Structure 1
């Protein structure tokens, strides 16, 4: 059966756009965003032009346009007259702007837009939203109020939906990582003489996004960093500390199974510099894996991104 000739079903369109069939039927009923023809007068069959109009509707709602206005604009751009909204006697259905089923709660419109784009696997929109978000709000607000909550919402949906949305989490993580790395690469250190901050995940630890957010925040403040990424072997970490002489070392651990307090103590006790003026790096134990034990001398355990940035800024300030 030709898609161009016969159109496609509501279920197929919903899968393509990453929205629920209920949302599509609601848009058709309330805003006139529906197929031009119906098979046997009842079953919806969506033509390529109908799907293009839906894609425009999705793009507009993702950018924060209210659904009624988005529908009006989408119809005009498709060459159709705006349809008068039809009141729903049963009350509003699941709000199209709520993130398409993700457990978002009360969030900023950017959060909702990013979640909707992620569920639709809409890479261009995610890139645009993330770039504009960081430019307007800065790294800390963007991470704490939009990026991290959206990632957590996707993760909770994955855990509660029998491994669905795994592809959403992977794509969203990639685009957030890209936005963070672009911020690092575009920044110029303002504290030229400061020793760098070394950032590394402990051995066996693969989660890097929070560490990437810290690197981006330090870059935003003009502080030099060296990011070593996931699962850095203990021997390699020791060699890097001795070669770089960092002002601080941030060790990320996502879970207690990867947190190595022996390794952290070894790093904190590592001395470098000329004889008679040897120094030690400050060690920050970052991530939930370090919870439950008090930090030893020479170590701090920040409560979040903002606190870690403030600690590291003060640490680098004397050299600047």
Structure 2
């Protein structure tokens, strides 16, 4: 935690040392530190700071009434055991600006900045369980990922660790749904892939997890699939739909999309092809050929893909 945050909480909510002496360093007792830790846990879960402080202080008061109070260190004996010294470590705000979002997203951003991996994993797991993949991705994961990306871009290498930790856990949460689901539908699968030059996979993993929730079969090829390998996979799998992702205009490949749309398989007289979906912001300038769908949101993409393979 930054010293600025600690001092702000102390000034606004009384989160700080219970005993103070004028002209001396503030002395943090174990129960004072416990209140601060509890405050951190609550705010990481999206509880507003004012409410978190009320709960943390109430729990401290109950604990103090239930147990004998520890002896206070004698003046001049130095820092007490287990002390926390605000002022050590970097100052200033490290917060991610997520805007007006769900409490779960605020908690996720705070936990990611602290590199609190267990808390990040817990928030993501509970968000997916409570909201479903599409809403968890749209309302919790994506705003936090975008905020981490903006912070990284503005501050250089300092925040790359936050973005990497958050991305890894988002991927783990999504793959847990996609891999663990049982697909009972008898339908041609959806093929999920990025363009040959695109390295982004999280949107594809979100799509795979959302399809798995609906028991729609899929095949994931992932990032940077060469054109020849992708076209060969289309002919071998015979998908009902192909979603090809492009994150940036430099990775969009209009000709490849056309070739996928022209691909057919099956015996003569009953040959079939796939519905082609071009997803991602990379297609904004390089509009795909006529007949290729361009969904605006994950929900739109999943609806379109499900209809394509189950109609």
TM-score class, shorter-chain normalisation, is 0.7 to 0.9
- CA–CA separation in structure 2 for the residues paired with 1:106 and 1:297: 37
* 1:68 and 2:22 matched: no
Q: Name structure 2 gaps, 5 residues minimum.
A: 67-92
C-alpha distance in 2, partners of 1:299/1:116?
Answer: 40
Q: For 2:285 and 2:251, locate their aligned partners in 1 and report how far apart those are by CA, in whole Å.
A: 14
Aligned length: 282
Cα distance, 1:132 vs structure 2: 1.1
- Corresponding residue SS for 1:299: coil
Corresponding residue SS for 1:250: strand
Cα 1:190–1:100 shift into 2, 3 Å: farther
TM-score with structure 2 setting the length: 0.83
CA deviation profile, 1:166-223 (whole Å, cap 9, x unmatched): 11111011111111111112222242x2111010111121111111111111111110
1:88 is matched with none
| Preserved contact between residue 257 and residue 289 of structure 2 (Cα < 8 Å) | no
Alignment of 1:222-241 (within 5 A): 222-241=215-234
Gaps of 5+ in 1: 1-13, 15-19, 82-98
Alpha-carbon distance between aligned partners in 2 of 1:277 and 1:111, rounded to the nearest angstrom:
49
Deviations 1:95-150 (A, max 9, x none): xxxx9632222111111111111111111111111111111111111111111011
Matched, 1:134 2:119: no
CA contact (8 A) 2:254 2:288 kept: no
Q: Assess, with a 3 A threshold, how the Cα gap between structure 1 residues 273 and 24 changes in structure 2: closer, same or farther.
A: same
Q: Which residue of 2 aligns with 1:194?
A: 187
TM-score of the two chains, using structure 1 as the length reference: 0.80
1:21 aligns with 2:25: no
Cα pair distance change 1:307/1:264, threshold 3 Å = same
Give the equivalent residue in structure 2 for 1:6.
none
> Secondary structure of 2:120's match?
helix
* Alignment counterpart, residue 177 of structure 1, candidates 168, 171, 174: 171
3-state SS of paired residue (2:252)? coil
Match of 1:103 in 2: 97
Alignment pair present for 1:121 and 2:115: yes
Aligned to 1:143: 137
8 Å contact 1:198–1:250 — kept in the other structure?
Answer: yes
Task: Name the CA shift for 1:263/1:25 in 2 (closer, same or farther; >3 Å).
Answer: same
How far off its partner does 1:37 sit? 7.5
Q: Is the 8 A contact 2:192 2:242 kept in 1?
A: yes
Does the Cα contact within 8 Å between 1:248 and 1:281 map onto a contact in 2?
A: yes
1:73 and 1:164 map into 2 onto residues whose CA distance is 37
